[in-house]
Amino acid sequence: MALADLLLLGRESDLSSERGVSCDGALPAPSEPGLVQRAKVARAALGSSVMVLGHHYQRDEVIEFADITGDSFKLAQAAAENPSAEHIIFCGVHFMAESADILTSAKQKVILPDLAAGCSMADMAAAHQVDAAWNHFVKIGISAQTIPITYMNSSAAIKSFTGLNGGAVCTSSNAQRAMTWAFERGEKIFFLPDQHLGRNTAVQFLGLRLEDCVIWNPWKPQGGLSDKELIDAKVILWRGHCSVHGRFTRQNVDDVRARIPGVQVLVHPECQNPVVMAADVVGSTETIIKTVNSSPPGSKWAIGTELNLVQRLSRTNPDKEIVFLDKTVCYCSTMNRIDLPHLVWAMENLIQGRVVNQISVEATVAHHARVALERMLALP
Ligand code: SF4
């Protein structure tokens, strides 16, 4: 999309993007004094036929109304394990709602309260770009020994590509198992779309060298790589990253260690490799929560993940010193699109019998994406 075509967030729609940007409907004003009460009344009226799921990076005002909180995988599983929930209001981002739709029955409807809640990382791998890369692998004769592994944080179309070509989905908790599984079936991994998770897992847990990994840049001819580089590589990393986790630096780690003696650094594997290598603990969102909650009083933690979660951990662990790894604010802007007005709007429409912002994945795409998701669920 040319710069001149860029749309304002919340206006019109962008069909080439993982997220839509239009936000139709009469939303309550964020400043309305009775908004929390409206949310309580609406939630009670909807009862158990509706399930509200809240990702750990959501705002407190939204988390307060979540029946289940978790990371993307836990929430998709929760949706699948609750067939009696006719409607699932997914307070997270677009790719998560897609996964929930793929894993639930045809009778269940998944709602994303704001269609502008996308994921910049998922948007970095468009289906036509991934197809072009794979066609090049076919041309130079490496596709047969290459297994695609895609992170949960990808569009349904990329999960579908992965399922169709013998690969599996992974999360930040099982990336090591997924990559080990892939190396048992092929000689090379095509890792999408987060280069950092792919690289960190390959180097930290699989014993590969940084030089064994190359980066496919979709904006350059042939990914910016020679045929020899592709043939020699063990892991071909897609050039994608999380705009939130990718901003932490090694300097942040050194600074916080100098500022707070005895602090332990806890980061998400979507962070850059020098940050991960300098940290004390690396783990998924669920691991970060468990690590902090189970640490003894007086523990000091500098955490490199989304700020809503770090602030919540700090509030729920008042006996520990918890700081954000970076000095500047770092919310996930698209996660924050879901706020109380959008949640109230979605719930009140449902009470009136209107399903707004339904996320529905096309049947063929859903079928192949489900294959890739089920391979992940069957990982040893
Ligand atoms: S935190 Fe990063 S990976 Fe997660 S939704 Fe936001 S941009 Fe995407």
What was the pLDDT predicted at 100?
Answer: 94
Interval between CA 37 and ligand 1 midpoint (Å): 30
On whether the CB atoms of residues 116 and 27 are closer than 8 A, the answer is no
Query: Helices 307-316 and 285-293: crossing angle, nearest 10°?
Result: 20
Secondary structure (H, E, C), the chain: CCHHHCCCCCCCCCCCCCCCCCCCCCCCCCCCCCHHHHHHHHHHHHHHHEEEEEECCCCHHHHCCCCEEECHHHHHHHHHCCCCCCEEEEECCHHHHHHHHHHCCCCCEEECCCCCCCCHHHHCCCHHHHHHHHHHHHHCCCHHHEEEEEECCCCHHHHHHHHHCCCEEECCCCHHHHHHHHHCCCCEEEEECCHHHHHHHHHHCCCCCHHHEEEECCCCHHHHCCHHHHHHCCEEEECCCCCCHHHCCHHHHHHHHHHCCCCEEEECCCCCHHHHHHCCEECCHHHHHHHHHCCCCCCEEEEECCHHHHHHHHHHCCCCEEEECCCCCCCCCCHHHCCHHHHHHHHHHHHCCCCCCEECCCHHHHHHHHHHHHHHHCCC
**Could you identify the atom of ligand 1 that is nearest to the CA of residue 93?**
5
Q: For residue 92, report the distance from its CA to the centre of ligand 1, in Å.
A: 10
Which atom of ligand 1 is closest in space to residue 334's alpha carbon? 6
pTM of the model: 0.91
pLDDT of residue 3 exceeding 50, the answer is: no
Q: Which ligand 1 atom minimizes the distance to the CA of 153?
A: 3
Interval 152-174 mean pLDDT = 96
Rounded average pLDDT over 86-102: 96
pLDDT-derived band at 287, boundaries 50, 70, 90: very high
Dist. CA 119 → ligand 1 center (Å): 5
- Ligand 1 surroundings by CB, under 6 angstroms: 57, 93, 119-121, 153, 242-244, 306, 332, 334-335
Site to probe by mutation for ligand 1, drawn from 152, 335, 336, 337 as the one with most ligand atoms within 8 Å of Cβ, is 335
Q: What is the mean pLDDT of residues 83-99?
A: 95
Q: What is the mean pLDDT of residues 74-81?
A: 88
To 5 degrees, how large is the angle CA 254–CA 260–CA 263? 80
For residues 221-244, give the mean pLDDT. 97
Residue 10 pLDDT more than 60? no
The rounded Å distance from CA 285 to ligand 1 centre is: 12
Inter-residue contact 192 to 153 (CB < 8 Å): no
Spacing, Cα 3 to ligand 1 middle (Å): 23
Confidence label for 18 from pLDDT (cuts 50, 70 and 90): low
Ligand 1 geometric centre to CA of 227 (Å):
32
Is the CB of residue 97 less than 8 Å from the CB of residue 312? no
Give the integer Cα–Cα distance in Å for 152 and 352.
33
* CA 374 vs CA 56, 181, 300, 378, 379: distances in Å: 24, 13, 39, 6, 9
Separation of CA 27 and ligand 1 centre (Å): 25
Mean pLDDT computed over 135-156: 98
222 pLDDT higher than 60? yes
User: In angstroms, what is the span from residue 16 Cα to ligand 1's centroid?
Assistant: 18
> Using 50, 70 and 90 to split pLDDT, how confident is the model at 30?
confident
Residue pLDDT, tens place only, 49-71: 999 999 999 999 999 999 999 99
pLDDT at 48 over 60: yes
Q: Would you say residue 362 has pLDDT above 60?
A: yes
Domains with residue ranges and CATH for the chain: 3-118+334-361 (3.40.50.10800), 122-243 (3.40.50.10800), 245-324 (3.40.50.10800)
Q: How confident is the model at residue 380 (pLDDT cuts 50, 70, 90)?
A: confident
What pLDDT is recorded for position 7? 53
Q: First and final CA of the chain: distance in angstroms?
A: 41
Which amino acid residue places its CA nearest to atom 3 of ligand 1?
242
Q: What span, in angstroms and rounded, lies between the C-alpha atoms of 246 and 26?
A: 36
Confidence tier at 1 by pLDDT (50, 70, 90): very low
Residue matched to tokens 């399922």: 163
Judge whether residue 288 has pLDDT over 70.
yes
pLDDT tens-digit profile of 323-335?
999 988 778 988 9
- Ligand 1, atom 5, lies closest to the CA of 119
Which residue minimizes the CA distance to atom 2 of ligand 1? 242
What pLDDT sits at residue 26?
Answer: 78
Which among 284, 334, 337, 338 is the best mutation to test ligand 1's pocket, defined by most ligand atoms within 8 Å of the CB?
A: 334
State the distance from the centre of ligand 1 to the C-alpha of 258, rounded, in angstroms: 29
What is the model's pLDDT at position 327?
84
From the alpha carbon of 243, which atom of ligand 1 is closest? 7
pLDDT of 367 > 80? The answer is yes
pLDDT on residue 16: 56
